[in-house]
Structure 1
């Protein structure tokens, strides 16, 4: 399971290789009212998600996103902690 990091945690490449436990906490839009599956996923930061395209703290791979939320949501609120 992999992800990209935004400036918020990228830390001038220091975040590359770090592991984060990510949990879906809720929806960000009206697309899917209850997107969360009630699970968490541990992802490895392998890339940088630069602005302005990156609007998230952690951009999950499709596989990682699907493990914690409905893919149709597109974007979700998360909690994350380095592990």
Structure 2
């Protein structure tokens, strides 16, 4: 009977506790021109430069513009690429396929500003595996 109660609890409550998605991230640098989301209005960038461009997997026909995510580095093909225990909160300001500067890797879930990327991973690594949660 006790095992049945524990199993019932796990089936009911665990799915709601696990809301993070996994994907990949790369980085990009200037020029930062948010042409897709904000029509080139650079004042839309957060003052702390913690922003990203959405990859096609989360672009959602433009609905991702302005969304905020908490991002954490999980791993990389390069050993010790992640800054352990660090998370960064970013806002989506552009679409990855429309960037004016070259990302460090193409086809990733998020292309983070260099500042945001550098807070969770080594800048010398082109691509990382991430966990991200919409805020």
Partner of 1:13: 62
Higher helix share: 2
Please give the per-residue CA displacement for 1:28-50, whole angstroms capped at 9, x wherever unaligned: x3xx3111112010000000012
How many residue pairs align between the two structures?
79
Partner of 1:68: 120
**CA positional deviation for 1:74:** 1.7
Structure 1 position 23 matched with structure 2 position 85 = no
**Structure label with greater radius of gyration:** 2
**CA positional deviation for 1:72:** 0.8
If the length of structure 2 is used for normalisation, what is the TM-score? Answer: 0.56
Higher relative contact order (CA 8 A, sep 6+): 1
Runs ≥4 residues deviating over 4 A: none
Please give the per-residue CA displacement for 1:34-80, whole angstroms capped at 9, x wherever unaligned: 111120100000000129x7310000010000000110112111010
Whole-Å separation in 2 of the counterparts to 1:13 and 1:55: 17
Whole-Å separation in 2 of the counterparts to 1:40 and 1:56: 18
Partner of 2:9: none
For structure 2, which runs of at least 5 residues remain unmatched after alignment?
A: 1-49, 99-104
Please give the per-residue CA displacement for 1:13-38, whole angstroms capped at 9, x wherever unaligned: 100000000000001x3xx3111112
For structure 1, which runs of at least 5 residues remain unmatched after alignment?
A: none
> Aligned-residue CA RMSD in angstroms?
1.5
Higher strand share: 1
